[in-house]
């Protein structure tokens, strides 16, 4: 569990990390190399799932050997599937994504982070995210160094 005390707010008690794949932790279907060591470090405090429609068909292979569960769903209804997954988890959920199909998941999460990376991000997701960053490494580093989240979200 990861607990983040935020002045003026209830503390965040996070137990799960839900990640979008393409455009978030992967570029053109290939996992961004700096993501792997961060996921390994975060797996000590969070249960991690990658939830994806897997546009390039590479998620299972690219995540092999990592301490993550990979859940691939057909492209139809992925937004609702991601939201349902976030709702179904007990404990606090943090989600990280970049696409339109991540909006409902962001609305269900205790903490949502939007990555505006090389593939861009859906403009509509911006208003549903608690934090917006310009790279997945910045997003994961927020969780590894939660004082950064505290500084960003304090009232």
Average pLDDT across the chain, whole number: 95
Please choose, from the candidates 62, 59, 115, 111, the residue with its C-alpha nearest in 3D space to the C-alpha of residue 86: 111
Residues 122, 114: Cα–Cα separation, whole Å: 9
For 1-16, what is each residue's pLDDT tens digit? 999 999 888 999 999 9
pLDDT at 90 (0 to 100): 81
pLDDT at 1: 94
Vertex 33: Cα angle to 27 and 39 (nearest 5): 105
Specify whether domain 2-153 bears CATH 3.30.1360.120.
no
pLDDT in tens, 97-138: 999 999 999 999 999 999 999 999 999 999 999 999 999 999
Kindly list the domain boundaries of the chain, sorted by start residue: 2-153
Contact call for residues 127 and 114 (beta carbons, < 8 A)? no
pLDDT of residue 76: 84
């Amino acid at each position: 569990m990861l607990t983040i005390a935020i002045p003026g707010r209830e503390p965040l008690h996070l137990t799960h990390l839900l990640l979008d794949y393409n455009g978030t932790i992967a570029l053109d279907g290939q996992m961004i190399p700096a993501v792997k060591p961060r996921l390994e470090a975060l797996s000590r405090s969070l249960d991690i799932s990658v939830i994806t429609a897997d546009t390039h068909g590479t998620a299972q292979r690219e995540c092999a050997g990592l301490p993550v569960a990979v859940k691939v769903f057909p492209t139809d209804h992925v937004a609702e599937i991601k939201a349902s997954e976030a709702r179904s988890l007990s404990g606090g959920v943090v989600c990280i994504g970049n696409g339109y199909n991540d909006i409902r998941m962001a609305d269900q999460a205790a903490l949502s982070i939007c990555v505006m990376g090389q593939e861009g991000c859906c403009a509509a997701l911006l208003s549903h995210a608690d934090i917006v960053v310009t790279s997945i490494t910045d997003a994961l580093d927020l969780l590894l160094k939660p004082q950064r989240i505290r500084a960003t979200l304090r009232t």
